[in-house]
Structure 1
C-alpha cells in the first residue's frame, strides 16, 4: 500500500494535481469553543464589559491561528453602542481568482449576549450558549476550514458582531461602513442559534427571509439535499428583521439572510440563565456545519452570481 501511495504522488506531480484531503469539522472542537464562550468567566458577554473583551481576544486568537487575516488594520471594527466602546471582529480570506476575488461572501454571527438575567437557583449569568456562542463557534469552524483549503475564488469575510442585543448596532455600523467603501458584496449568510435540532421538520435548518431570494433553493441544489426549509414560525415573527443580516439587506439590497436551527419552538431558554453549553447538541452542530460548507464553497466559486433576490 505504501508503494502504491508514493506511486500516486509521483503520477499526480506529472498530471498537475495533488491528493485530495477531506477536512471534517469535529463536534469536540465546536464544543470546546462554545464552552469557553459561554463560561461564567465571560459573564454573559455583554457589550462594553470585560467579558466581551475576553471573547473578542479568544476570537482574534482563533482567526490568527487559522491564518485568517484582519480585514482592516486590525481585527477590530470599532464603534460606539449607546455610549459604550464596542467592536466587531472582521477577518477575511482573499479569493484565488483574479476577478472573482473582488466580490465578497460574508459569513457572520453575533458574539455578544445580554450579560445577566433573572436568577434561577442563585445563577444570574446569561451565558448565551445557543444565543449565540453556537453561531460564533460555527463561523470560527468554517473560517478554519476555508483557511486550510485556500481555494475559494471569491473573497470571504468572516464577521463576529457586537451589540446585536442592543439593537443590531454592530451590523448597522459595519454595513454602512462597507457600503461607503463600495464593497462588492455578493451575499451574506449569518449564523444565529444553531445549537439544537428542529423537531418534526423535513429539513435541517431554515433561512430567515426564505421567500425573498433563491438562496435556500440554491443551497439545497448545491448540496443535493433538503438542507434548508421555510419555518412558518420564523415567518410569523418576521425573524428576518431581528438579526444582523437585516442591516446588510437594507444597505445593499442583496441576499443577506440568517441560517438557524432554532425558531424558539424547540428551545426553552432564550435570554434565560439556563442557556448553557450542556444544553446543546454538538454532533448536530458539527453535522450542520459539514453539510453547509459545500454550499458556501459553491457560493464562492460559481462564475456568475447565481444567488439573487426575487423580483
Structure 2
C-alpha cells in the first residue's frame, strides 16, 4: 500500500508541474503550444473601455488619452509584452496649429506612442522586426447628436488598436515568433500622422532591421457578403497581400479599387514607416465607406461594433503573421515601380 501511495504522490507532483508550466504560457511536457483564446468577449472588454465616455474621445493631449495609454500599458504588463524603449512611452511634441495659426492658449501639444516588444525566439531572426500598429487617439468632440458630443472612436481606431493588442497577447503567450514583434500604438494620427511619423523616424535613427509593417485601421465592422473580408491599401506596392493570404491559407485580404482613388496609402499610419524605412508598409481595413455611417461621428460607439467579426478577423491574422514572423527569409518585398 505504501508503494502505491508513493507512486500516486509522484504522479500528482509531476502533473502539477506540467500544469504550472502551461499556466505560465509555456509549452507543456508534450511541447504543445498553449491555447490562447481570442474571442468576441476579449475584444469587447477592451472596446467597452477604450470607446467609453470616460475617455472623452481620446484627443491627443487630454486626460482621456492618458487614461487610454494607462489601460494599454497595463494590458501589455499583464500579458508579458515588454517595453521596447526604457518605458512603454515614446514621447513627442508638436505645434498646435489651426490652419496656419498656432493656438495661443495651447501652442504645444505633447503626445506619446505606446510601444511594446515581443522578442523573437530565433537567435538570428530575432534581430529582424515586424511592426504591427493602430492609432489609439481620436478627435475628442464631434457635432452634437441628441445631447451627445463625445466622439468615442470605436471603429476609428479603437478597433485597430485592439487587433494589434490581441495579436501581441497571442504571440507573447505562445512564444511562437522567430522574428521580434513590435506592437506600436500611436497618438496624434488625427492631427496629421504625428505620432507614427515621430516613431518611424526614431526607429530609423537606431538602425533597426525592420522587415514589414501593418497598420490596422477601422476593422470593427464587416464588409458586404461576396467581398473580401478585408482590403490592403497600396495593394500593388508589394507582394504583402498575396503572401499574407498564402500564410493564412485563404484569401482574407483583397484589393479595393477605391483605395487608390481615396489615396488611403498616404493617409494612414503605415505611410511614415514606408517613407522612412523603405519597407513594405500597408494599412488593412474592413471599413470601405459603404458599410458604416459613423466616421468621425459621435455615434461611432462600442455597441455598434461587430465583435464576432473582429474576433474572426484576428484569428485569421494569427496564421498569416506566423508566416511573416517565421519564414526563413524575407519573402515580402516591395514591387519595382
Q: Pick the TM interval, shorter chain.
A: over 0.9
CA distance in 1 between counterparts of 2:35 and 2:253 reads 23
**Structure 2 residue 321 is the aligned partner of structure 1 residue 308:** no
SS of residue in 2 equivalent to 1:86: strand
Pairing 1:286-297 to 2, within 5 Å after superposition: 286-297=311-322
CA distance in 2 between counterparts of 1:265 and 1:255 reads 27
Gaps of 5+ in 1: 10-15
**Structure 2 residue 52 is the aligned partner of structure 1 residue 39:** yes
Q: Which residue of 1 aligns with 2:6?
A: none
TM-score by length of 1: 0.94
Larger Rg: 2
Superposed CA RMSD in Å reads 1.4
Q: Is the 8 A contact 1:206 1:261 kept in 2?
A: yes
1:28 alignment partner, one of 26, 41, 60:
41
Moved over 4 A (4+): none
In the TM superposition, what is the alpha-carbon distance from 1:150 to its structure 2 partner?
1.1
SS of residue in 2 equivalent to 1:297: helix
1:98-120 residue CA offsets vs partner (Å, 9 max, x unmatched): 11011000011000000001000
2:214 alignment partner, one of 189, 212, 215:
189
Pairing 1:119-130 to 2, within 5 Å after superposition: 119-130=144-155
CA distance in 2 between counterparts of 1:279 and 1:285 reads 12
Q: Which residue of 2 aligns with 1:52?
A: 65
In the TM superposition, what is the alpha-carbon distance from 1:258 to its structure 2 partner?
0.7
TM-score by length of 2: 0.87
In the TM superposition, what is the alpha-carbon distance from 1:17 to its structure 2 partner?
4.4
1:169 alignment partner, one of 161, 184, 194:
194
**Structure 2 residue 223 is the aligned partner of structure 1 residue 202:** no
CA distance in 1 between counterparts of 2:228 and 2:326 reads 25
Q: Is the 8 A contact 2:34 2:174 kept in 1?
A: no
**Structure 2 residue 273 is the aligned partner of structure 1 residue 225:** no
Pairing 1:134-145 to 2, within 5 Å after superposition: 134-145=159-170
